[in-house]
Amino acid sequence: MKKYIIVGFALCALVAAYAEVPMSNIGIIRDIAGVPGKRGFSGDRGDALQAQLANPSGIAIDRYHHIYIADTNNHRIRRIHPRTGEIDTIAGNGRTDFYNDGGNADMAGLKSPTAMVIDDVHGFLFVADTGQDRIRAITLKGYPDMLLTGQDPFRRWALPQIAGPDDDATELDDIHIPRGYIYTVAGNGRRGYEGEDAKAIASSLYAPAGLAISPDGELYIADSGNNRIRKIDRNTGKLVTVVGTGDRGDDGDFGPAINARLNRPTVIKFDKHGNLFIVDTGNHKIRFVDHRSGNIYTVAGDGHKGYKGDNSGHSKDARFNEPTGLALDSRGHIYVSDTNNHRIRRINIDLQNRTSFVETVVGTGKRGYNGDDMNAVDVKLAYPGGMVITPRDVLYFVDVGNNVVRRVPGISLLHPPTSYNTYGQPIDEEVDSRSFFEVLFKPQMQGK
């Protein structure tokens, strides 16, 4: 009897997990925000599909199903309401100066924010304020009021501006944290690297571009320009390197992660076991740090820039082109925004047989936009970036060059037809060889 009860619970859980995804909708892509090809700023307090975005690059979803967008070139964080579909700005006034830190988030200055991660326990949205070389924390509205005691370690590292002197933890008064405020968590605004074991808020960062929260509640930072993965120690509030020597390069596999060389890491993500995945963008690889040994390994990518390897060979022999997004589904698949190849690809790993391969699940490989409400394998993308997969198996991602946010239900159940062996790799039209950076950001920088 116990056996049948367990099986029944498992089946109920499986049905619940996919209840949001009717079979007819699996693999059908739809836009949820932005006007395709229209780059600008508009639409607050209106329908997200009528709002204009400017090269959004990050996305996050909270426990209430609000969708947060790092509207990078509008220098804002925007939020979509799950029931109404309305969009609004929750942080950033559109200016790029360092303004109103410690005050209302919607009045603060941000500069090219990219990655985000949500601490659902405390109701904090951590933001990589990349252009200002800082990590910021936004206390999200809609979460319960929060009381932090003077001895709470979270208060020490997440709110260093109001934490008090280092040695007075037992003497601090309990405080209520106001909602809708913004604080600096790490970075002093001076781009560079100043060594280890200083307080995070007093340390220098260099274009931080990725954030993750470990299973034990520590904030990890992809310090992209410094070629390191760093964390804020939750007990001391100090910034500590955990992956990378700081020298740009590509080596260290099978050895301690601290001794490896990285090349502009942009995305980090933990799985449920505490293993750390790294999008090693400049090396065109996906790498993995084992939580038990601390050793680093390459999961996918041969280290060369380009495209090859769908549905053939080992994932380490596949070729990527400056990937900038990563997500994990409940079945253990790894999804990669293969940005300059205009695709989203899935890494399938069979641990029992020790095999792995890569396949394209979204995008034809041709840069552009050809509509939504169609099969994900048939759409054109333009530099896909940040992504997240919900517990109900829905992939949300930012289509950066098209200035839209898109969703694909039932992503783990999507199996491309075998006829898509090359997935539309352009052969009858001229291939645009310009990179994500050259198209989206370099012209703006040259104009300044």
CA neighbours within 13 Å on the CB side: how many for 5?
A: 2
Its pTM stands at 0.89
Residues 6+ apart with CB under 8 A from 432: 367
Q: H/E element holding 16?
A: helix 2-17
What span, in angstroms and rounded, lies between the C-alpha atoms of 156 and 151? Answer: 8
What span, in angstroms and rounded, lies between the C-alpha atoms of 371 and 394? Answer: 19
**For the sheet containing 384-389, what is the strand order?**
374-375, 28-33, 404-409, 394-399, 384-389
Q: By the 8 A CB rule, do 330 and 350 touch? A: no
What span, in angstroms and rounded, lies between the C-alpha atoms of 143 and 120? Answer: 9
Q: By the 8 A CB rule, do 302 and 250 touch? A: no
What span, in angstroms and rounded, lies between the C-alpha atoms of 170 and 421? Answer: 63
Q: By the 8 A CB rule, do 18 and 365 touch? A: no
**For the sheet containing 296-300, what is the strand order?**
265-270, 276-280, 285-289, 296-300
Place of tokens 């090396």: 283
Q: By the 8 A CB rule, do 327 and 386 touch? A: no
Q: What is the pLDDT of residue 196?
A: 87
Helix (H, G, I), strand (E, B) or coil at 296: strand
Q: By the 8 A CB rule, do 134 and 187 touch? A: yes
Q: What is the pLDDT of residue 442?
A: 53
The one-letter amino acid at 427: I
The one-letter amino acid at 201: I
Q: Per-residue pLDDT for the chain (448 aa), expressed as one digit of tens each?
A: 444 444 343 444 444 444 455 666 899 999 999 999 999 999 999 999 999 999 999 999 999 999 999 999 999 999 999 999 999 999 999 999 999 999 999 999 999 999 999 999 999 999 999 999 999 999 999 999 888 877 788 888 888 877 665 544 445 678 888 999 999 999 999 999 988 888 999 999 999 999 999 999 999 999 999 999 999 999 889 999 999 999 999 999 999 999 999 999 999 999 999 999 999 999 999 999 999 999 999 999 999 999 998 887 789 999 999 999 999 999 889 999 999 999 999 999 876 667 789 999 999 999 999 999 999 999 999 999 999 999 999 999 999 999 999 999 999 999 887 544 443 343 334 445 566 555 555 554 454 4
Place of tokens 């041969």: 302
- Rg, C-alpha atoms of the chain: 21
Q: What is the pLDDT of residue 151?
A: 78
| Beta strand spans in 140-270 (E) | 146-148, 175-177, 182-186, 210-213, 219-223, 228-232, 239-243, 265-270
